[in-house]
Amino acid sequence: MASSSAAGAGSTDPTAARRNNTKRPKYSKFTQQELPACKPILTPRAVISAFLLVSVVFVPIGVAALIASRKVVEIVYRYESKCIPPNVTDKVAYIQSSADKTCKFSLHVEKHMKSPIYVYYQLDNFYQNHRRYVKSRSDEQLRDPGEEDSTSACKPEDTANGKAIVPCGLIAWSLFNDTYSFSRDNHNLTVNKKGISWKSDREHKFGKNVFPKNFQNSSIKGGASLNESIPLSEQEDLIVWMRTAALPTFRKLYGKIEVDLNEGDSINVTLQNKYNTYSFNGRKKLVLSTTSWLGGKNDFLGIAYLTVGGLCFFLALAFTIVYFVKPRQLGDPTYLSWNRNPGGH
């Protein structure tokens, strides 16, 4: 191409004569840009049917999603201020003190809740996605007992008393430590805390022979302590917590209640309010919820689908009307600009 002809500037090219014979570009549909092609165009019929199709698909999905969402029964109880004795003024001091922080209240079941009932804690205004926070972990260390000392990313919770912390980093350090227990009619409702984390995390991400060491031994405790005799792969609360939430308002699975709750039941909750969200005005909520095929209670998807489906139906209708009122023949050469105003060229 360009370069070679430039290079040959000062020379007579002995190969030129030989090349001449084969110089003609070989014919192929590809080089002549004549490959067979499909040329879809937006005909009114196609567009209107596409809109109709979208509305036909979207509206039922929207309805189904809405029904699913409505079927979910959810009990949310916000307790971070209610669980502070009324006489306490300095909430932060209170939560850091060693006083008994048991808190009791009861929840009313408005609607029958079918098991399993998921118990979540919800934190608001907690930026688990903060850059300093998400980076402060060592996945090598969690997995492999030999990598105990790879704590470089964990600062400032990398070492305590000169030894590496396992699990290190801010995320583990700030492990949530409120505990809940439930009873109904003075019978304890067992909360199953097994299997609340991802199986993949338990099996591959958190080592079966990695045990907590030196954890929460630094000057200030950030949250829960861990039983040093249980391997990380079985510390499910930690595993759940370390799946950092995407948004500043998030829920984490606490456990499952595996019996149905009936309408009108009153659930007594005994809660150890230990986790400090008071220093940054974080809210804490206890959530009991059933699930549907779509997850938790959230009308958004249903509404969105209905809106889009409805809009498409409306557009299909509008285009149909306009199409009949003011049609244009496709590909009619009289519409070409130089045919419309003669003398233009």
Partner 1 sequence: MSIHSSGSRSNNSILEVSLSRSGSKARPVRYGSKGADSEGLSMSQRELRDEDARLVYINDPGKTNETFEFGGNSIRTSKYSVLTFIPRNLFEQFHRVAYVYFLIIAILNQLPQLAVFGRGVSILPLTFVLFVTAVKDVYEDWRRHKSDRVENNRLASVLVDGKFEEKKWRDVRVGEVIRIKANEPIPCDIVLLSTSDPTGVAYVQTINLDGESNLKTRYAKQETHGKEGFGGVIKCEKPNRNIYGFLANMEVDGKKLSLGSSNIVLRGCELKNTSLAIGVAVYCGSETKAMLNSSGAPSKRSRLETRMNFEIIWLSFFLVALCTVTSVCAAVWLKRHKDELNLLPYYRKLDFSEEGEVENYKYYGWGLEILFTFLMSVIVFQVMIPISLYISMELVRVGQAYFMIRDNRMYDEETKSRFQCRALNINEDLGQIKYVFSDKTGTLTQNKMEFQCASIWGVDYNSTKDNMEGEQVEHSVEVDGKVIRPKMKVKVNPELLQLSRSGLQNVEGKRIHDFFLALATCNTIVPLLVDTPDPDVKLIDYQGESPDEQALAYAAAAYGFMLIERTSGHIILDIHGERQKFNVLGLHEFDSDRKRMSVILGYPDSSVKVFVKGADTSMLNVIDKSFNMDLVRATEAHLHSYSSMGLRTLVIGTRDLNASEFEKWHSAFEAASTAVFGRAALLRRVSSIVESSLSVLGASAIEDKLQQGVPESIESLRIAGIKVWVLTGDKQETAISIGYSSKLLTSRMTQIIINSKTRESCRKSLEDALVMSKKLLSSSGVANDAGGSSDATPVALIIDGTSLVHILDSELEEQLFQLASRCSVVLCCRVAPLQKAGIVALVKNRTSDMTLAIGDGANDVSMIQMADVGVGISGQEGRQAVMASDFAMGQFRFLVPLLLIHGHWNYQRLGYMILYNFYRNAVLVLVLFWYVLFTAFTLTTAINEWSTTLYSIIYSSLPTIIVGILDKDLGRRTLLKYPQLYGAGQRHEAYNKKLFVWTMLDTLWQSLVIFWAPLFAYWSSTVDVASIGDLWTFGVVILVNLHLAMDVIRWYWLTHVVIWGSIVATFISVMIIDAIPNLPGYWAFFHVAGTGLFWLLLLGIVIAALLPRLVVKFVYQYYFPNDIQICREAEKIGYERVVESGQIEMLPISDNPPR
Residues 181-240 that bind partner 1 (CB under 8 A): 198, 200-201, 204-205, 218-220, 222-223
Q: Using CA atoms in the order 256, 261, 263, 265, what is the torsion angle rounded to 10 degrees?
A: -100
State in angstroms the smallest separation of the CB of 305 from partner 1.
6
Maximal CA-CA distance, the chain: 105
CB of 286 to partner 1, least distance (A): 13
Q: Are 122 and 287 in contact, with CB atoms under 8 Å apart?
A: yes
Pairing of strands 102-108, 266-272: antiparallel
Q: How far is CA 4 from CA 1, 22, 220, in A?
A: 6, 17, 72
Based on the shown chain and the rule CB under 8 A, indicate whether residue 155 belongs to the binding site for partner 1: yes
Backbone angles phi and psi of 23, in degrees to 5: -70, -30
DSSP string, 256-304: EE-S-B-TT-EEEEEEE-----GGGT-EEEEEEE--BTTBSS--HHHHH
Cβ 273 vs Cβ 83: under 8 Å: yes
| Residues forming a β-bridge with 58 | none
Stretch of residues binding partner 1 (CB under 8 A), selected from 105-113, 156-164, 187-195, 230-238: 156-164
Measured from the CB atom, is 27 or 86 closer to partner 1? 27
Q: Per rule CB under 8 A, is residue 325 in the interface with partner 1?
A: no
Tokens representing 210?
């990695």
How near is the Cβ of 188 to partner 1 at its closest, in Å?
Answer: 25
Q: Give the shortest CB-185-to-partner 1 separation in angstroms.
A: 30
**The one segment of 83-91, 109-117, 225-233, 246-254 that binds partner 1 by CB under 8 A:** 246-254
Q: Which one, 182 or 278, has the nearer CB to partner 1?
A: 278
Run of H or E including 52: helix 44-71
- Choose among 230, 231, 250: nearest CA to 123: 250
CA-to-CA distance for 80 and 93, rounded, in angstroms?
A: 14
Contact characters 304-323, partner 1, x per CB under 8 A: xx--x--xx--x---x----
**Binding-site string for partner 1 from residue 35 to residue 64, where x marks contact by CB under 8 A and - marks none:** xxxxxxxx-x--x--x---x---x--x---
Residue of 9, 18, 98, 185 that binds partner 1 (CB under 8 A): 9
Instruction: State which of positions 74-103 bind partner 1 (CB under 8 A).
Output: none
Of 122 and 270, which CB lies nearer to partner 1 in the complex structure?
A: 122
Smallest separation, CB 166 to partner 1 (Å): 14
How distant is the alpha carbon of residue 7 from its chain centre? 58
**Rg (the chain; Cα; Å):** 33
Among 18, 20, 85, 325, binds partner 1 (CB under 8 A): 20
Return the residue of 18, 33, 85, 185 that touches partner 1, per CB under 8 A. Answer: 33
Q: Would you say 88 or 160 has its CB closer to partner 1?
A: 160
| Closest distance of CB 264 from partner 1, Å | 26
In the complex, the smallest distance separating the C-beta of residue 290 from partner 1, rounded to whole angstroms, is 14
